[in-house]
Structure 1
Amino acid sequence: MANFTLKVTRLGFSLLQSVSPRIAGKAAFRLFCMTPSSAPKGEKAKVAHAAGIAKLAGAERFTLALQGGGKAYAYRLNGGAIGRRARYLVTHGWGSSSVYMADIIETLAATGAEVIAVDFPGHGGAKGRALHMGMAVKAIAAAERRFGAFDAAIGHSFGGAALMVAAAGMLPSVPVVLPEKLVLIGSPSEMHWLFKDFGKMIGLRRAAQQALEKEVHRITGRRLEEFDASAAAGVIKRPVMIVHAEDDKEVSADHARRYAAAGESVQLHWANGFGHRRIVAAPPVLETITEFLTGDDSVREAEIVPLFDLPARRMSL
């Protein structure tokens, strides 16, 4: 938020929670779920957006109806082929879209796989201005319902966490989506820290913060502290590859380490120098993901060397 907007927001919540912490908590949850404009901001974003649109120009497009209401949007490459081929799902981060994941989508499609990329509600081609974890998991379930079971799923940031929540069946009312392999890129391992930081940013006091967190339970059927994706990684008994940069300024590298500690089925690959956003288009990252999905994935830990020399060593989910 811009400084002036943040000051006004903090003042508004200060007054509201003085009257009713419960109402303030509910209002904070709605604000937390509000998605940013899908229009690219800045020249770099505009260039990346235009390049992604060009790469997805030949993709089939679908609207996916979500369980309980709402819609997501999907792209498909290599669909409708005769005979069995691998089917991969790709999910994006908060404030992003499939267009910004086009390099991964294109790389996976080049292997001959059928590739499905989903725009979550309020992002990309999907309408609306709100998203929360429950909606994202329902979008993933809608994709499997429409296209069939996935051999692998690849997600960036919030999209990676949503894949793990879906794979572990954390939402009681939503069917489990458990691919044979998962790749999580720059993804958070749990969400409690994000809500705490958000509450602190807008000036919530204890009662209103508790009301905010109770909204998560009311909406999803799970308490906030139960959304522990790293614990789920050790339970699902599927190969999981974690790709993260130690220089990621939006999702701490500690999240990657928590995933890696979950069990022997989890591989950790450092992609230092690529930060939080460039990591999804970095050629060494794309190569490593492709090898994991199509070839030998026996190595538990490795390091991806950047194409340029950077010192190795905010969440736009």
Structure 2
Amino acid sequence: MLANRLLLAAAFRLAPGWAARHAACMFLVPLRRPAPGRSGYVSRETPLAVEAPSGPVAAWLYGRHENPAGEIILLVHGWEDDHLSWAPLADRLVQRGYRVLTLDLPGHGRSKARLASLPVQAAAVAALAREAELLGLTPFRAVIAHSLGGTAALLAATEMGLRAGRFAILASPNHPRLFAGALMKLYGLNRQRTARAFAEIERLVGRSMDSLYLPPKLRQLASPGLILHSRDDRTVPLRHSQENAAAWPRADFRVLDGIGHRRLMTDAGVHEMLLHFVETDAPADAFGLRTDAAE
């Protein structure tokens, strides 16, 4: 981070156009975490390859051997994670008789991408859903998605035709400006330089960041939803889920505490909530919560 701060400080003085492009590219390219061991999965996998606008996307189907007729659950990981992050939940779902479809989003795990923007992520989710339909793996009983993967899944649902019986969204940001602004602050960019970097991000993505703001889109989403967010989340502010829940007509909203951000994917208590939401016949009444119940 210090090296990037020094590089950008010098570059904005000498070549501001290059510096803005470099800052934008750093925002649009995820770092790759060390991959966890596959021993976390008990269920057998069937690998898939799906062609998306960004290139081939790696995906896996679990539970096909155990229960070929089981309903399908799609799991979408977040920024700088991969499909293995869902290992504990995937196994529990397979044990309950479901089949589980997962993917590595573009720029993550085994899926390559030059720039992994939010529309690129959403297009990959939509491409996987179309391929799943061709393979007879739809309709999805549910989509469960974490962090930026939830933002991508909701963008795919509201703009790109992704359909599911219900959506469970874990601590998802509703505007890319949240992370873009935080990153530029870490790089020490002032307001003028940040504005140049933002303009370059929008040029590379091909649309404005404001056009990706979720709440106006969620007002038209008819599927039932469950939104979970831990109050102590230091990555995505609680207000993002509050705004998403207030806009989404059929979303229940539960505020948790002491779980943080990434542990939402592996926490046993969260898994119980998700299983209840997936299995109930009336997901809109899963917890009987009002969207304004949170502070």
Q: Work out whether residues 93 and 100 of structure 2, in 8 Å CA contact, stay in contact via their aligned partners in 1.
A: yes
The CA RMSD measured in Å over matched residues stands at 2.6
Aligned with residue 183 of structure 1, among 145, 168, 173: 168
> Counterpart amino acid of 2:45?
A
Deviation at 1:56, TM superposition (A): 5.7
Structure 2: stretches of 5+ with no match in the other structure: none
The alignment partner of 1:75 has SS state of strand
- Give the aligned partner of residue 13 of structure 2: 18
| Percent pairwise identity | 23
> Counterpart amino acid of 2:221?
I
**1:147 & 1:287 partners in 2: Cα distance?**
26
Name whichever of 200-209 and 257-266 sits farther off.
Answer: 200-209
Aligned residues: 284
- Give the aligned partner of residue 177 of structure 2: 192
**1:107 & 1:36 partners in 2: Cα distance?**
29
**1:7 & 1:77 partners in 2: Cα distance?**
42
- Give the aligned partner of residue 89 of structure 2: 104
> Counterpart amino acid of 1:61?
P
Q: 1:216 to 1:109 in 2, by over 3 A?
A: farther
Q: Work out whether residues 43 and 62 of structure 2, in 8 Å CA contact, stay in contact via their aligned partners in 1.
A: no
Q: 1:56 to 1:80 in 2, by over 3 A?
A: closer
The alignment partner of 1:190 has SS state of coil
Aligned with residue 125 of structure 1, among 103, 110, 119: 110
> Counterpart amino acid of 2:14?
V
> Counterpart amino acid of 1:152?
A
Q: Work out whether residues 244 and 270 of structure 1, in 8 Å CA contact, stay in contact via their aligned partners in 2.
A: yes
- Give the aligned partner of residue 44 of structure 1: none
Deviation at 1:193, TM superposition (A): 2.0
Q: 1:240 to 1:231 in 2, by over 3 A?
A: farther
Q: TM-score, normalised by structure 1?
A: 0.80
> Counterpart amino acid of 2:184?
G
Deviation at 1:84, TM superposition (A): 5.7
Deviation at 1:263, TM superposition (A): 3.9
Aligned with residue 301 of structure 1, among 272, 289, 292: 289
Aligned with residue 79 of structure 1, among 64, 67, 74: 64
> Counterpart amino acid of 2:32?
S
Q: Work out whether residues 91 and 155 of structure 1, in 8 Å CA contact, stay in contact via their aligned partners in 2.
A: yes
Query: Is residue 162 from structure 1 mapped to residue 157 from structure 2 by the alignment?
Result: no
Q: Work out whether residues 186 and 243 of structure 1, in 8 Å CA contact, stay in contact via their aligned partners in 2.
A: yes
Name whichever of 31-40 and 95-104 sits farther off.
Answer: 31-40
Deviation at 1:275, TM superposition (A): 1.4
Q: Work out whether residues 190 and 229 of structure 1, in 8 Å CA contact, stay in contact via their aligned partners in 2.
A: yes
